[in-house]
Amino acid sequence: MTVRIIHVGLGGWGGNWARTAIPEVAEVEVVGLVDPVPATLTAVQQDLGLPESAAFASLTEALAGVDADAVVITAPAVTHVPLALEALDAGKHVLVEKPFANTTDEAVTAVRRAEELGLVLQVSQNYRWYPAPRAVQDLLAAGTVGELSAINIDFRQWDNDLAFEEHPHYKFPHAMINDMAIHHFDLLRMVTGQEAVRVFAKATFPSYSKYQDEAIASMIIELDGGLVVSYRGSWLSRGPRTAWAGEWSIQGEDGELWFTSRDGAPNAIDGDVVTLRRTQDDEAEPVELPVLEHTDRQGGLQAFARSVEGGPAPATSGRDNLRSLALMEAATRSAGSGQPEDVVVPS
C-alpha cells in the first residue's frame, strides 16, 4: 500500500521537503499540494510534475478535492496545531514538522484528538534518524560506560550576517531554544531513555544580535534519574562550528562516549562520529555505526507511512513529543523568569 499524502506549506524548508525529502520515500505518494502563495505553489507543482488539479490554496480545498490518507504539515509553526486538527477531523493521519507547537497546552489538544479518532499523529524529529545517536542509544542501553555521571552538550553556529528582514530565524520566537535546542532536547531523551524534570536556563543578548529573542542560551537540565546535563547553545558563536546535532560528552563510571551528528547538508552521514574512551589516559576508539535505510526526514517519513499502514506506533508520536516540547517550554519559562522551572507534561 502507498500512503497518499497532502503536503501543506511549500515555502523555504517546506519546499525543500517537497523537492528532496518526500520523493525519496517509496511508501508515500503526493496527491495534493497546499500553499497560500500562488507562485510558491505553482513552482513546486511544476517541479514535481503534478497536475494543476493537485494544487490548492488551502487545506480545506485540498481535503475536498483529492482522496488522501494523510497530511504532512511543513507550514509555519503557529499553524501546526490548527492544521493538524483540521486534518484529523477529516479522518487523516498527520505528520507535522517540529516544533510541534509553541505550548504544550496547544499541542495536547491535537494529541487527544488523534487518540480519540485512532489516527497516527507524528512529529518530525529528524535528528533521531542518524547513525551516531542510534549507536549511542544502544551503547547506553547496554551499560557500556556504566553509571552515568554527567552529560555536556555544545552547539555553536554563526548565523547573524543577513539583514533582519531577510532571515526567518531572526523573527522565530525564542529561536535558540524553540527552533534549535528542541532537537537536542529530543535527542537527550532518545539516547538516555530518561525524562527531564527540571531546567534552569539563562539567555544572553549581545548588542550585535539580529534575533528578536535569545540567540544564546546556557542550561542545566535535571533528568528523572538524578543525572545533571550541561547545555550551551549559540547562533552567535565565533568558535569552531559544531555539527547541527552538537557535540556530546557522556561520562560514566567506566568511560566516556563522545559523539556528533548531522554535519553539513541534510542526510549527510560522513560527519557522524562516535568514540569510546575508557579512562582519561586512553585513546578514544571509534565506534562502528549502524547503516540506516533512510536518514533525516526520510527516515521519519518512512516510519510514519509504516505506522499508517498498521505498523508500530512512531517513536516520535505526538504523545511522546509532548515531553520534548515540555522541556522546551520550561526552558523558555526559565530564561524569562531567571529561576529553575519544572518540566510539566499535560496528560
Number of domains in the chain: 2
Backbone torsions φ then ψ of 197, nearest 5 degrees: -115, -20
Residue 63 within any structural domain of the chain? yes
Can you give the pLDDT at residue 172? Answer: 86
pLDDT by position in tens, the chain (length 347): 899 999 999 999 999 999 999 999 999 999 999 999 999 999 999 999 999 999 999 999 999 999 999 999 999 989 999 999 999 999 999 999 998 988 999 999 999 999 999 999 999 999 999 999 999 999 999 999 999 999 999 999 999 999 988 887 898 889 999 989 999 999 999 999 999 999 999 999 999 999 999 999 999 999 999 999 999 999 999 999 999 999 999 999 999 999 999 998 888 899 999 999 999 889 999 999 999 999 999 999 999 999 999 999 999 999 999 999 999 999 999 999 999 999 999 98
DSSP string, 182-214: HHHHHHHHHHH---EEEEEEEEE--TT---SS-
Please tell me what DSSP assigns to residue 291: P
Which strands sit side by side in the sheet containing 70-73, from one edge to the other?
55-56, 28-34, 3-8, 70-73, 93-97, 121-124
Residue 322 within any structural domain of the chain? no
Are 52 and 132 members of one domain?
no
What are the residues whose beta carbons fall under 8 Å from the beta carbon of 116, sequence distance 6 or more?
Answer: none
Per-residue pLDDT tens digits for 165-191:
888 789 888 999 998 999 999 999 999
CATH number, domain with residue 158: 3.30.360.10
Upstream peptide bond of 36 is cis (omega within 30 degrees of 0): no
Residue 321 within any structural domain of the chain? no
Which of 151, 142, 147, 203 has the alpha carbon at shortest distance from 178? 203
pLDDT, mean over the chain: 96
CATH number, domain with residue 302: 3.40.50.720
Are 106 and 29 members of one domain?
yes
* Domain of residue 107, residue span: 3-127+296-316
Are 161 and 172 members of one domain?
yes
198 burial (CB, 10 Å; 0-12 / 13-18 / 19+) is middle
